[in-house]
Amino acid sequence: MLGCRMRRMQQRIGIRTISANPANPMRNEAPMSTAVTFDHVSKTYGRGDSAFQALDNISLEIPQGSFYGIIGSSGAGKSTLVRTVNGLVKPSSGSVDVLGRNPAALSKHELAGLRHEVGMIFQHYNLLQSKTVAQNVAIPLILAGVPKSEIAPRVAQTLELVGLGDRADSYPAKMSGGQCQRVGIARALVTNPKILLSDEATSALDPITTRQILDLLNDIHRETGITVLLITHQMSVIARACEHVAVMAHGHVVEQGRVADVFTRPEHALTKQFVETVIPRALPTDLTKRIESGKEGAVVKVSYQGDAGRHVLADLETATGAHGLSLLYAHENLLHDVTLGQLVVGLDGVNGDGNDLASRLQALRNEHYTIEVLHD
């Protein structure tokens, strides 16, 4: 976080020509197929008075090759939702389409086949303590009926991919949490699945290890094009790793969209709370006091995305006709594929008519800027 105060920061016009419109990293602009489609999925556990509705009429599309995050508090139903993808949970109503198949309607044999194409990693790794790393990773291949001679090279290759090439003969009990999760990832990927389900995979890890695991998942996603469906209760995980996010509460999806958009303009109260955990919305109290007292003159807060930060000051100066700008507060967050920034700027030589200022700023409002007048 960067909090600084600079007087009369003059905008250098030259920068504007360099900064073209930020390249739009959105992959879902072109029509594309979906890996998973949830179609009005509901799930109720139990009957009568003790019945609990974990999922309530959820419809959601997970694009093929996307890195999709689902966030929610405990008990929001996200674990149940992700388990309908590999048939660990059967919906009470509605249907799930996974790679063109409906897990709930498959025979035992067909479901086993689908599960070889859908890898899963868990919060507590769920490794066999009685087997070595290599033996753990080999199990899905044994289950898939891969010939014995092919198993060892594929296990070695997958362990290399997750950075555990030298730990093949170790036992899980002698490894750290991060290493265990790498084994879990290797085990989930060894059959070359098309979808990877991550069930709170980093929730038991420390922040540094969490980043390493998320970066590993991102690398794998980029290199293999695998669809990743991740559930978490940590917004920082969504911020670092995901392209898309859906926010769940009480069995509903309350908000969904591109991560950058949801972080810039969260709509639902719960989403705002989650975003707040990564990007603090409240300004420092002494700054707020100074602004409110009018000492700083006209002040605006600008939220921007990506490269728009490069010319935000010049744009402000031009649009408002200010003689100079005072940078009162700045904060920038690097999300998975976009930078989100917040600036609080004092506009020198602009005063008086609030309506006038607001209307002048209107010209600036576009997809990369959100502008709020704090004082005029």
Counting contacts by CB under 8 A, is residue 51 touching other proteins?
no
Q: What is the largest CA-CA distance in the chain?
A: 80
Instruction: Please select the residue that binds other proteins; options are 18, 20, 23, 173, rule is CB under 8 A.
Output: 173
Q: Which tokens sit at 113?
A: 């086949």
Cβ atoms 52, 45 nearer than 8 A = yes
Q: Which tokens sit at 95?
A: 């249907």
Counting contacts by CB under 8 A, is residue 221 touching other proteins?
no
Counting contacts by CB under 8 A, is residue 204 touching other proteins?
no
Its sign, for the CA torsion 71, 333, 223, 32, is: positive
Counting contacts by CB under 8 A, is residue 338 touching other proteins?
no
Tell me how far, at minimum, the Cβ of 139 lies from other proteins, in Å.
6
CA 228 to CA 63: how far, in whole Å?
Answer: 10
Instruction: Please select the residue that binds other proteins; options are 9, 26, 104, 111, rule is CB under 8 A.
Output: 111
> Given the complex with other proteins, which of 76 and 138 has the nearer CB atom?
138
Counting contacts by CB under 8 A, is residue 6 touching other proteins?
no
CA 163 to CA 151: how far, in whole Å?
Answer: 18
Its sign, for the CA torsion 108, 112, 118, 124, is: positive
Instruction: Please select the residue that binds other proteins; options are 113, 207, 225, 321, rule is CB under 8 A.
Output: 113
Tell me how far, at minimum, the Cβ of 270 lies from other proteins, in Å.
28
Interface positions, 69-98, toward other proteins (CB under 8 A): 86, 88
Instruction: Please select the residue that binds other proteins; options are 65, 77, 91, 140, rule is CB under 8 A.
Output: 140
Nearest CA among 85, 59, 55, 87 for reference residue 72 = 55
Counting contacts by CB under 8 A, is residue 154 touching other proteins?
no
Counting contacts by CB under 8 A, is residue 194 touching other proteins?
no
CA 71 to CA 247: how far, in whole Å?
Answer: 5
Cβ atoms 298, 343 nearer than 8 A = no
Tell me how far, at minimum, the Cβ of 244 lies from other proteins, in Å.
23
Q: Which tokens sit at 328?
A: 């009162």
Question: Which parts of this chain interact with other proteins (CB under 8 A)?
Answer: 86, 88, 108, 111-116, 118, 120, 122, 124-131, 139-140, 142-144, 171-174, 187, 197
